[in-house]
């Protein structure tokens, strides 16, 4: 057998270190999530001189409070063995999974390779799962209503059957007597009861069909709303990208025009043109950041915008 090469031994050792570090990182992630939860719940951050939990997070860990609360939700809704399983899922996908019930999470985990599934695809599947669960809940309530109707009909039928048997017994007794009028009257009552039972059966059948039709209609409406919401989101993103492209093109065009101007132009006119372009670009940038204040990247967008302002202030000659 050939001896193992030095490069192979080095590769095997590096592979072992990477896998060990990945497992430790995943375990450390859950420990951090639990640590944030305990610090918030016990309010121990006050012992460190902070009156606000979010302020403690941003000052001591440089993690914004929105991200910290995502970590806490992971700790509250996911078991430690799931987070520390060794799979490299990432906090964004863990946060998405924390919104599911155990059965929903198990179904999603069994049908997907979570490590290789993108956060966007996972979010799409979770939305479909939520729609499915909502439809199932609606159907469950409708089924419960139908069961109640069936119980009521069954009780009415039993009552009618008892009354029919009672009347039949009375009819047999009366048949031995020479009083045809009484027999005829009771026979009509039996016929009326049987007719009432047929009407009850027909009414139940119509109600069942109506419930089934309404359930199908509700399900279609829920699916259409989910599809429309996704389409609106994609349209909004396309509009933002087009607006950014137009702004960039306008800015580059104006810069090109300024570069072609002769040195004899009025400095004030040049300054006005530059200022107009800059104000327009900054206004669009601020609008974009404010429109995405519910995004995971909001903290990053705000930080970069402030850095831009700092760069302008620091580079201007006093």
pLDDT in tens, the chain (318 residues): 456 788 888 777 876 776 666 566 666 778 888 899 999 999 999 999 999 999 999 999 898 999 999 989 998 998 888 877 656 677 888 888 888 888 888 888 888 888 788 889 889 989 888 888 788 777 777 777 777 877 787 788 788 788 888 887 878 777 777 655 444 455 677 777 778 888 887 887 788 788 888 878 888 888 888 788 788 878 877 887 788 788 778 877 877 776 665 554 567 777 777 788 888 888 887 777 777 676 666 677 778 878 887 787 777 654
What is the pLDDT, as a whole number, of residue 259?
61
Q: What is the pLDDT of residue 30?
A: 81
Distance CA 272, CA 267 (A): 9
Greatest pairwise CA separation for the chain in angstroms: 132
Answer whether 167's CB lies under 8 Å from 190's CB: yes
Contact present, 105 and 79 (Cβ < 8 Å): no
Domain ranges of the chain: 6-117, 118-235
Contact, 31 vs 83, CB < 8 A?
Answer: no
Q: Are 126 and 93 in contact (CB under 8 A)?
A: no
Contact residues for 285 (Cβ-Cβ < 8 A; gap 6+): 305, 308
Cα–Cα nearest to 77, from 95, 55, 64:
95
Q: Looking at residue 263, what DSSP letter applies? A: T
Residue 87 Ramachandran class (φ > 0 left, ψ -120 to 50 alpha, else beta): beta
Q: Which pLDDT does position 265 carry in this prediction? A: 54
CB-CB contact of 127 with 96 (8 Å): no
**With contact defined as beta carbons under 8 Å apart, do 46 and 110 qualify?**
no
- Check residue 190 and give its pLDDT: 72
Q: What is the pLDDT of residue 45?
A: 93
- In the block, tokens 């063995």 appear at 81
* Per-residue pLDDT at 56: 92
Contact 215, 138 (CB under 8 A): yes
- Taking the C-alpha atoms of residue 180 and residue 161, their distance in angstroms, rounded to an integer, is 24
Q: What is the separation of C-alpha 149 from the centre of its chain, rounded to a whole number of angstroms? A: 35
Whole-number pLDDT of residue 318: 46
The rounded Cα 139 to chain-centroid distance in angstroms is 21
pLDDT at 37: 93
pLDDT, position 182: 46
Query: Between the CA of residue 58 and those of 36, 68, 91, 205, what are the distances in Å?
Result: 12, 9, 18, 63
For 244, the token pair is: 């950014």
SS3 242: helix
pLDDT attached to residue 22: 58
**Helix, strand, coil tally for the chain in percent (to 5):** 85, 0, 15
Would you call 282 helix, strand, or coil by DSSP? helix
Q: Across the chain, where does the E strand assignment appear? A: none
CA 189 → CA 168, 169, 172, 180, 195, distances in Å?
A: 10, 13, 14, 14, 10
């Amino acid at each position: 057998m050939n001896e193992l090469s030095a490069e192979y031994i080095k590769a095997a050792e590096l592979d072992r270190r990477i896998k060990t570090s990945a497992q430790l990182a995943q375990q450390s992630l859950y420990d951090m999530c639990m640590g944030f939860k305990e610090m918030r719940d016990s309010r121990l951050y006050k012992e460190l001189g902070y009156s606000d939990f979010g302020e403690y997070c941003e000052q001591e860990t440089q993690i914004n409070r929105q991200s910290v609360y995502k970590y806490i939700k992971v700790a509250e809704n996911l078991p430690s063995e799931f987070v520390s399983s060794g799979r490299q899922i990432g906090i964004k996908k863990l946060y998405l999974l924390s919104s599911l019930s155990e059965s929903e999470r198990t179904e999603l985990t069994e049908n997907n390779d979570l490590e290789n599934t993108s956060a966007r695809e996972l979010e799409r599947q979770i939305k479909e799962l939520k729609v499915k669960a909502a439809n199932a809940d609606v159907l469950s309530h409708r089924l419960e209503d139908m069961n109640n109707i069936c119980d009521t009909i069954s009780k009415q039928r039993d009552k009618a059957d008892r009354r029919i048997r009672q009347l039949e017994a009375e009819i047999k007794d009366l048949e031995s007597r020479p009083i045809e009028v009484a027999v005829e009257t009771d026979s009509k009552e039996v016929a009326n009861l049987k007719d009432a039972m047929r009407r009850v059966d027909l009414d139940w059948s119509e109600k069942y069909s109506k419930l089934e039709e309404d359930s199908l209609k509700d399900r279609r409406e829920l699916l259409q709303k989910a599809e429309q919401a996704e389409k609106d989101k994609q349209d909004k993103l396309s509009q933002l990208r087009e607006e950014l492209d137009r702004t960039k093109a306008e800015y580059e065009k104006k810069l090109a025009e300024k570069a072609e101007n002769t040195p004899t132009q009025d400095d004030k006119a040049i300054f006005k043109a530059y200022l107009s372009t800059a104000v327009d670009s900054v206004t669009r940038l601020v609008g974009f950041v404010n429109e995405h204040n519910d995004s995971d990247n909001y903290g990053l967008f705000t930080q970069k915008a402030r850095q831009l302002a700092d760069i302008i202030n620091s580079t201007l000659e006093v």
